């Protein structure tokens, strides 16, 4: 069938298999062309491997070091005239290309929060790889169901007071004020339950208990800090509380003495998750403009390739004084932030095109779903029923 984007709010309900494949291939080509650190992981588990930072981590590990990768994803195959999710197509493309290149890549599809999926993943690791030496935790989820059946839903709200600032309506390209209301205590606790470190630690404990981690294994989870304008929404908001918990969990995991845990503070980028945060997309489109003009813009693949090769697997891991890897080093640079701040104070509907990179934002948004890739014929009849080689349907 001919597949066109169908955007509903922050997501696109269709995805293009050939577009996703072309974009995965271009991420692979990027990594292959970089210089790689002498040290590197050989057997990597990526939890949340189908999109954004997790997918870029999987590609970086595989194509920097020839690492075998096991990915855990939560995606949907095509059914009837409904396309699969883009995470499904990305994973299918990654596995196909990796296998052509002689690299081990298998995937488990299901809820990473569940014991069933942890058990299945560990069984696969033990059978095929024995142990892993690197575990990437890159989940971004709206909800989590715990073993007793309770469903926790995360919220993107402030903590304490409400916060009013500018936001962008991407549909009609207008800037207006938005007031974000504070989360209740219950909502904050639920957000910590979903996006905090509890499940990360459950994964590490389960892997260690099963004897599925190498002695020198490391694990990394991702966070964001950002500038003042986003703090009430992010670092000091409900999601920030979850990230504080994630950070505390890194210390707990390391203190157990088996696996060294890191937090990598990444750059703000357009992903399916960040598109849903109020205020942040306007900040991202200004940031894109400034960083592109200064020639320092990076996407997920540039960030993750640099993280593996220049930070996590440098001779000695490169961290700040609090043991965090700072991939937001360029974003948070003084020159970038003062320019972003100036544009932020001035931005309004009538100067959007000069003050923000809306085109770049939109382009990245459509690419999340495989649309807008170079060399793909979007008018061609396309088979949407792509299979992930390692997954039986
Ligand atoms: P994303 O939406 O692109 O990817 C999230 C991944 O998690 C997807 O592969 C999705 O399928 C998977 N997933 C979600 N629920 C799952 C479940 N129950 N079981 C298995 N897999 C599941 O998000 P992202 O932006 O790449 O976020 C990844 C991490 O990076 C998050 O911790 C996020 O907070 C962090 N981060 C993001 C940004 C940003 O600007 N996007 C910046 C810094 C840090």
Tens of pLDDT along 26-74? 999 999 999 999 999 999 999 999 999 999 999 999 999 999 999 999 9
Mean pLDDT of the region 363-386: 97
pLDDT value for 170: 84
Q: Please state, rounded to an integer, the average pLDDT across all residues of the chain.
A: 96
**Tens digit of pLDDT for each residue in 288-342?**
999 999 999 999 999 999 999 999 999 999 999 998 999 999 999 999 999 999 9
pLDDT value for 276: 81
pLDDT value for 278: 84
pLDDT value for 171: 83
Question: What is the band of 9 on the pLDDT scale with cuts at 50, 70, 90?
Answer: confident
The residue count of the chain comes to 393
pLDDT value for 128: 98
Q: How many angstroms separate the CA atoms of 290 and 86, rounded?
A: 29
Q: Ligand 1: distance of its center to the CA of 306 in Å?
A: 19
- Which residues does a 6 A CB cutoff place in the pocket of ligand 1? 48-54, 72-75, 87, 111-113, 138-141, 222-224, 266, 268-269, 271-274
As to burial, measured by CB atoms within 10 angstroms (0-12 exposed, 13-18 middle, 19+ buried), residue 363 is middle
- The contacts of residue 9 (CB under 8 Å, 6+ apart) are none
CA dihedral 263, 265, 271, 275 (to 10 degrees): 110
Asked whether residue 79 carries a pLDDT value surpassing 80, the answer given is yes
Residue 234 annotated as catalytic: yes
pLDDT value for 325: 98
Residue tagged active-site, from 65, 89, 234, 283: 234
Q: Ligand 1: distance of its center to the CA of 348 in Å?
A: 30
Q: Ligand 1: distance of its center to the CA of 354 in Å?
A: 30
pLDDT value for 393: 76
Q: How many angstroms separate the CA atoms of 197 and 224, rounded?
A: 14
Using the atom order of ligand 1, give the atom closest to the CA of residue 54: 26
Asked whether residue 222 carries a pLDDT value surpassing 90, the answer given is yes
Residue nearest atom 10 of ligand 1, based on CA coordinates = 48
Using the atom order of ligand 1, give the atom closest to the CA of residue 284: 40
């Amino acid at each position: 069938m001919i597949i066109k984007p169908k955007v509903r709010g922050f997501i696109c309900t269709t995805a293009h298999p050939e577009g996703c494949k072309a974009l995965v291939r271009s991420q692979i080509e990027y990594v292959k062309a970089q210089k790689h650190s002498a040290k590197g992981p050989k057997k990597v588990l990526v939890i949340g491997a189908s999109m954004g930072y997790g997918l870029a981590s999987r590609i970086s590990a595989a194509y920097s070091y020839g690492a075998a990768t096991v990915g855990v994803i939560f995606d949907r195959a095509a059914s009837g005239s409904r396309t699969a999710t883009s995470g499904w197509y990305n994973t299918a493309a990654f596995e196909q290309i990796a296998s052509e290149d002689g690299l081990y890549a298998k995937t488990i599809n299901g809820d990473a929060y569940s014991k069933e999926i942890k058990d299945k993943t560990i069984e696969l690791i033990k059978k095929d790889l024995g142990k892993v030496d690197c575990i990437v935790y890159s989940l971004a989820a709206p909800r989590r169901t715990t073993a007793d059946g309770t469903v926790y839903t995360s919220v993107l709200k402030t903590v304490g007071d409400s916060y009013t600032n500018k936001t962008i309506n991407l549909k009609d390209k207008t800037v207006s004020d938005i007031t974000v209301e504070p989360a209740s205590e219950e909502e904050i606790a639920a957000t910590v339950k979903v996006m905090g470190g509890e499940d990360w630690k459950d994964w590490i404990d389960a892997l260690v208990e099963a004897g599925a981690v190498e002695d020198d294994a490391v694990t990394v989870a991702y966070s964001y800090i950002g500038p003042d304008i986003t703090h009430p929404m992010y670092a000091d908001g409900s999601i920030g509380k979850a990230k504080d918990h994630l950070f505390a969990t890194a210390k707990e995991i390391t203190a157990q003495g088996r696996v060294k845990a890191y937090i990598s503070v990444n750059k703000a980028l357009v992903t399916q998750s960040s598109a849903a945060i109020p205020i942040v997309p306007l900040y991202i489109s200004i940031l894109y403009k400034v960083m592109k003009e200064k020639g320092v813009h990076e996407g997920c693949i540039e960030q993750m390739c640099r993280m593996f090769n220049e930070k996590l697997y440098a001779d000695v891991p490169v961290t700040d004084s609090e043991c965090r890897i700072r991939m937001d080093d360029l974003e948070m640079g003084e020159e970038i932030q003062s320019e972003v701040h100036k544009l932020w104070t001035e931005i309004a509907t009538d100067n959007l095109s000069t003050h923000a990179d809306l085109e770049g934002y939109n382009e990245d948004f459509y690419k999340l779903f495989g649309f807008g890739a170079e060399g793909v014929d979007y008018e061609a009849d396309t088979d949407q029923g792509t299979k992930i080689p390692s997954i039986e349907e």
